[in-house]
Structure 1
């Protein structure tokens, strides 16, 4: 009986380990663009952004690469210096995405596009750092996580209360307008704490994300 219980514990532990993997491809450098791929086209998610999930809707089952989205739906684009003006914020690749309607119908619900990933935050992590521009919000397990500016395109999010835990992190485009994209790149965990945010930043970020979640519930 003792050996049986031990085996069950080990099996449960292995299953938990499989479900709670570390975050991957946070810098988007794992993108695969085949050498014979034309400069304009589309990529599957497992090639463009392995490890990442995303909001659902029309035109979200592929990632744009080297072309401009036309229409009113949300979109996701793999950015590199060869196909996009300005290129990535760091390294060879970045992700850019915009909110839009769930489908091409004018009456379709508005969707705030997001990129998400579930994994274990390192036990010694105190902050999450990233490069970004555009109307961005971050949530951890559905809770608003204030974004603190570090200057320029650099930002940080306090993750100290989640250290060592498996969580879902979402990077959300909060815009209510078409053609208002967010670019994100070079996401990483740091042992350094973030500076204290000003009160106005907490209020603004909380109100923005709360509004998004409220609209999402109303559309269900």
Structure 2
């Protein structure tokens, strides 16, 4: 489901998890191909587009080719594409896939409708979850990159599968209870400057909080709703 542009021209896509709970790429590709006609002039992807995305050709699947192809078609029509790396995205910013986007990074700020927005994926906000923060750092370290890109293919794939299992385990706390206090603290801290809104993915449920300085909005996961959202 695409829906219609609310007037901003900015579409939001969070946590599709294609290849996992998001299923095969076909339904998402169909939506991406219809976004321009629906009024989209900018698409912001809030990470975890795939169940796990190691941005190297040896890990490229048919789903990755199909979705990236749809994104490139959308961009060829003049739609801006921004990609915020999630916890299941590895080394996208330094890969050949980065050229398919206008921006790839861990956070993005932009202005729309007179408001200043900050977009981040949302993992790592809970500074008390040290186990997760350590695993997050390790899984994206230079050592992990070296192993994933230079081990023999069979060993490298086993490493990626192990990484996926570990990510699922360290995220279990978030699935049990939304870390609302940590999210509020993050929002209040980042909204102290010239920002008005914070947009987050990762937590797979829609929520909205008004905090000092502005609002924090959690986007629902595409794999749950099968819907592209609008700003």
Q: Is the radius of gyration larger for structure 1 or structure 2?
A: 1
Structure 1 and Structure 2 fold alike (TM over 0.5): no
Between Structure 1 and Structure 2, the one with more helix by share is 2
The TM tier, using the shorter chain, reads under 0.3
| Structure with higher RCO (Cα < 8 A, 6+ apart) | 2
TM-score (normalised: structure 2): 0.26
TM-score (normalised: structure 1): 0.26
Between Structure 1 and Structure 2, the one with more strand by share is 1
